[in-house]
Each structure stands twice: as C-alpha cells, then as structure tokens.
A and B are shown apart, each in its own frame.
Chain A
Amino acid sequence: MNPLAGKYLRKNFLPFIFCPGCGDGMIVHAFLEAVDELGIIDDLALAAGIGCSAWIPVYIHADVLKVLHGRAIPAAIGLKATRPSRKVVVFTGDGDGLAIGGLHMLHAARRNIEMTVVMVNNQIYAMTGGQVAPSTQVGARTQTTPYGNLEKPLDGCKVAVAAGATMVSRCSTAYPQALSRTFKKALTHKGFSFVEVISQCPVQTGRYIHGSGAPQFNLQWLKDNCVPVDDPAKWGEVEAQGKIPLGDVLQVEKPEFMEEVRKMNQKVKEERAKGGDR
C-alpha cells in the first residue's frame, strides 16, 4: 500500500466506490500529499454533497460530513463557524457545485469565508448515469441531450472570481504534481479558495462524449486539451482554440468572514460593558 494511503485512508471503507480509470483516486492522492506536507490531518473538517467526487473525503481518515446534493458549502460554514481554526475543505462536482449548489458557492465566495472548495469537473453527471451538466460542452451527446447539448457551459473559475473568491485556480488530474502544489497553496490561503480540477470520467464522459471508455485515452484527452498557462491574461487565447486553460487565476488578501465576526463580537461586547443600548 502507498505510504500515504497507509497513513491517511479509512481502511475499513476500502475499496473505493470509484470506477477504474476515474480521476477521483488521483485527487485523493494529490490532496493527501498536501495534507501530509502541511501536517494538518487533525485539523481537517471535510464536507461533501452528492456525486462521485463527494465520496473523495469519505475515504480520508478525518472528520467528514457528507450531506445532501449541492449542500456541502452550507454544512462547511456551520463547521467553520463553530471552530474557526478548523481547516474546512469541500469536495464538490460540476453538477453539485455549479447547478444544484451554485447559489451556496456564490455566497460563500462573496463572504470570503476561509475554506477550500475543490470542484471536480468531469463535464457530466457521472454517478446518475451520464446526463448533461452545466459544464458539458456545446453539442455533446449525453443521456439527456441525445441530439446534442444546446447550452453553453458555465466556467466555475470565472463564477468564483466574480463572486469574490480570494484564491482561484484551475488544475487537472493530467498534472498531478501541480494539483498537489495548488492544494497546498489553497489550504494555507486566508479566505475562500476555489480549486477546479478538470478530471476524467472514462465511463460516462469518455464513452459518450469523447468516444472511448479507455482510461489511458481519457487521461491523454486531458493532456491534449488542457493547457497550463502562467498568466490568466492568456486564458482567452487558449479558450479561443477550444482548449481548457489551467493555472492560478487570482490570489488576493481580503478580510476573512470568521475573523471579522470575531472582531465584531469583541467590539459589541466591549461597547456593552461600557454601557451601550439595551
């Protein structure tokens, strides 16, 4: 067994629920590398909703709250609020995070609540059998777009930036070392961090959209179509070629919500002690 797995996996829950060739196992590995380097396993409070990616934290031997479809972020807020020193991480998918849970994403980013949201984007609803997702490319044939997808995909990174996230990055399982480095950066970021992971789903996306369910084909598809760039200003050029840009989009420092709550509570209590209203 991989030493990281030996150290951090919940062994009585194995084997993984993931299909052969799934990117989720690679994400577990990259995440545990970052956790191991930072030495934060005891501080982790992991939250997830529903979908393949929502099972990622369940196998990690840490405190895990796996709730309803799309609702991981509210659960994470409750965990963060009750002990702000927790390292709160949400694992979500493109459907869980951008469709049913999209509103929660906007508002957690807007509040700049310190937590890391890992959004695994496999461009499809995989667990339910391959239906179109808000991240599916135009024209793709899925179980619910048998004549081709008419809807433009939603870019999670752009949404996160617009909503006020203070760290945004896009990675891919095609580049696992960069993924691990980005997790490390996100886990030490003071504020709301959003990491999109472009991942492979051989069973649904592979078979129905890309034309092959072979794991190696799908990983190669990611390598061919994901383009790491060092400057977010170049994202437009990459997108114009029909490719997916990877890299850091944004990292800024802004007042963090729970810290602001603490300060407000302190101030209100001091004013009260001096004899305020009521």
Chain B
Amino acid sequence: MKKGRIKVMQGNEACVEAAILAGCRFFAGYPITPASEILEGMARRLPLVDGLCLQAEDEIAAIVSVVGASWGGAKAMTATSGPGFCLMQEGVGLAASVESPCVIVNVQRGGPASGQSTSTAQGDLYQARYGSNGDYSLITLCPSTSQEMFDHTIRAFNLAERFRIPVIILSDEVVAHIREKVVIPEPDQVEIVERKKPTVPLEEFIPFQAGEDDVPPMPAFNTGYKIPVISQAKSLSGNRGNAKEAEVFIRRINRKVNAHIAEFADVRTYGDERAETAFVSFGSVSRSARSAVDMAREKGLALQSVEVKTIWPFPDDLLRSKLEGARRIVVAEMNLGMLRNEVQRVIRDPEIKIELFSKIGGIYPLPQEFLRFLEVKQ
C-alpha cells in the first residue's frame, strides 16, 4: 500500500500537484475546457516555488515557450485539449527535433474541430503519435484515475528528461474531472530523473553527439557551451545536415525511444489473467472495463481487463504477452477503432476474434454495456 498524504482530487488537480513535485518550474497554457484547471492550478502554485505560469496568447506560443524554458534549463509543461492540441502539433515536432524534454497534457474531449467541449472522448490517439510532420518518436502515457494522473505526471517528467523528448499525457474529460483519493508521497519518496548534462571540456563539446543510448547530453543556455539549436535536420555540430547527416539524425531521434521500449512499456492486467475473454482499453475506459470484470466475476464469469498505460510507442511485445491466453478480445474505446487497429496489427492469429466496442458522442460507457456487448456479439 502506498504511503503518504491522502487528498481527494480531480485528475487535473493531481497533475498540478505532481508537476510541482517533479520539479516543473515553467508552465504555459491557454484556457480550454476540459484542461483549464491545470492552467489555473499552475497559476496558483508556481509563484510559491519561484516558477512562472504564463497564460499564452495561443497554444502555439504555449508549447514553443515550453521548449524555450526547457533550453533555459527548467522542467516545463503545457496542458490543453483537442483543438489546442491541434495548434500545438508544430511544437511537438519542434520539441522532438531540438530534443527538448517537456511534458504535454492533452485532456481529450469530443472532436473533430470544436467537437464537444465538456464531453469525454479518446479520438486524439493517433494525433498524439502522428500529429506533427516527419518521422519522430515520443512517449505517450494514458492515466485512468486521479492517482494514475499523479503518478504518470511524475513519470512523464522523468521519461522526458531521460530521453530528451516531449512526453504526452493523454488524459480525457472523465479522468480530468472525477474526484477521488490520491496518495501524495513525501518528496523524498519520489524518484526524480534529471537530464544528462555534458561533462566534457567546453572545447571538446559536440552539440548533438550521443553516446550508446543515443541521447546527447544537454547543456542549459548560458552555461558556457554556446550551443546552436536549430529546428532543421542537423549534423552533430548542430548545423544544417547534408543527406547523410540528416538520415543519421532522424534515425537516432527515433531509435533513442523505440529501442528502449522495454524500459518504460506498461500494460496492466486486472481480473483473471487466464480468462479467454479480454477487454483491451486505455485511459478512463479502463475504469468501466474493471467494473465489468468485477460484475462478471459475481456472475461466475471469468474476464480480464488489459489496460494499456504507455500507448506510444505501441507496446507490441508486452501487449502480445499479456494477451497470450485470450481467444476473444474486445477493444473498448471512445473513438471509432484506433486502438483496435493497433491490436489487430499486433495480434495476427486468425483464430483470435478481435471485436470493437466503440462508444462515441460523449457519454461514458457503463460496465453493464460491456457485459451486454459480450452477450449480444457472442
């Protein structure tokens, strides 16, 4: 059992608490439902720790100032929802290209466009992975409870610092606004990761040269390194790269994440791991899936809920192993089948039935609907 201070919090509030604890000292955001409580919370909390919360003129300014703050030497975060996440996409690619550690929270709401501002949805799954141009790789975490929002926020900062990447927390309106118990650990009980800094003498420093882990050490600005950081595909020196240098760069920024997936991939199983029928879900939908497992158990029916916590890069191997015994897979999500497509890509056995339970329109699916789905579609 976790030890610490217990508070009842919204997911959005838990995110603020965790960000401060993780060392976030710069936040920039633009008001948007259902993410605004994060901006509001940071505006209250950051002054107390000598940080700055900037209400930016738009989401583009928010994410780019986060990248600036990251190079300034701070841990930095922004939070938004779908329409704002659209604007941020150029900044996501920028952060990936200039290898700036930062955290981006996307509290999903209905889409496309303005969609449904106060309703829950999970339609931004692909956008979190493929929203910006070109080949890049980042990590996306999917919390389903206030506690997970807290834990994932700290983890997001740690992974961002470890890999020098933007880390996306893909929350949704339900996780954002549900109020439930959160255990806040003592600061000395929390593992905090800091970015690797250069240790070589100034004159030997090569700006984008990485060691074996493909992550180059990152100096803060005005610490003597006088680093050129450009958003172009770059050579090791940081200048515009030629074809060969561009290729080396693009391969490295993808490999540094993808080759280490075993280090951070997280898929949880709830219920009977040997059950032949498995729900696969992420984010808030996992809550209903769990309840469905409990309700089925009372009726003597064995089910398992397989919950994807790190959704990008997609945890192919881990998910495959978690679903080893499953013969019937129901992918439950609040979009038209994005996670289902990934599951189909990973589970290729024609004997295994992969079905889609899709609920869109903004009403959160109840566990009873899951069970009814199993009966009807059998």
Contact = CB atoms under 8 A, between A and B. Distances in A.
Interface of A: 10, 12-13, 42-45, 47, 50, 58, 61-68, 71, 73-83, 86, 103-104, 106-107, 261, 264-265, 268-269, 272, 278
Interface residues of B, number: 45
Contacts of B66: 78
B64 A83 contact: no
Contacts of B221: 45, 63, 65, 79, 83, 86
A81 B230 contact: no
B64 A71 contact: yes
Contacts of A107: 56-57, 61
A189 B97 CA distance: 33
B25 interface: yes
Interface in B26-63: 26, 28, 44, 47-48, 50, 52, 54, 56-58, 60-62
Contacts of B54: 77, 81
B231 A58 contact: no
Nearest to B221: A63
Residue in B48, B225, B228 with the greatest tally of chain A CB atoms within 10 Å: B228
Interface of B: 25-26, 28, 44, 47-48, 50, 52, 54, 56-58, 60-62, 64-74, 76, 90-91, 94, 98, 220-222, 224-232, 237, 239
27 contacts: A13-B237, A42-B222, A47-B68, A64-B229, A64-B230, A65-B71, A66-B232, A67-B94, A68-B94, A71-B60, A71-B64, A71-B94, A74-B61, A77-B68, A78-B68, A78-B70, A79-B71, A79-B72, A81-B54, A81-B69, A81-B72, A82-B74, A83-B72, A86-B221, A104-B57, A107-B61, A261-B47
Contacts of A44: 222
A45 B68 CA distance: 10
A86 B224 CA distance: 13
Nearest to B75: A82
Contacts of B229: 63-66
A10 B228 contact: yes
Contacts of B28: 74, 77-78
A62 B226 contact: yes
B68 A74 contact: yes
A182 to B, nearest CB: 24
A63 B221 CA distance: 6
A65 B98 contact: yes
Given A63-B222, A264-B47, A269-B47, A79 B68 contact: yes
A232 to B, nearest CB: 27
Given A78-B76, A81-B52, A265 B65 contact: no
B72 to A, nearest CB: 3
Contacts of B237: 12-13
Given A78-B69, A83-B222, A107-B61, A67 B25 contact: no
Nearest to B55: A107
A77 B65 contact: yes
A156 B189 CA distance: 53
A84 to B, nearest CB: 10
Contacts of B26: 78, 81-82
A269 B231 contact: no
A61 B56 CA distance: 30
A86 B239 CA distance: 23
A75 B61 CA distance: 8
Given A68-B91, A265-B47, A265-B50, A78 B228 contact: no
Given A45-B72, A77-B68, 20 more contacts: A13-B228, A65-B68, A66-B231, A68-B231, A71-B64, A71-B91, A74-B61, A77-B54, A78-B64, A78-B66, A78-B67, A78-B71, A79-B71, A82-B73, A83-B221, A86-B221, A107-B56, A261-B47, A268-B47, A269-B50
Contacts of B62: 74
Question: 6 shortest A-B CB distances, which residue pairs?
Answer: A78-B68, A82-B72, A78-B69, A74-B64, A75-B68, A63-B221
A65 B54 CA distance: 20
A42 B239 CA distance: 21
A12 B239 contact: yes
A75 B65 contact: yes
Contacts of A45: 72, 221-222
B57 A63 contact: no
A23 to B, nearest CB: 21
A62 B227 CA distance: 7
Contacts of B232: 66
Contacts of A268: 47-48
Contacts of B67: 65, 67, 75, 78
B71 A74 contact: no
Contacts of A104: 57, 61
A261 B222 contact: no
Residue in A45, A73, A81, A269 with the greatest tally of chain B CB atoms within 10 Å: A81
A82 B47 contact: no
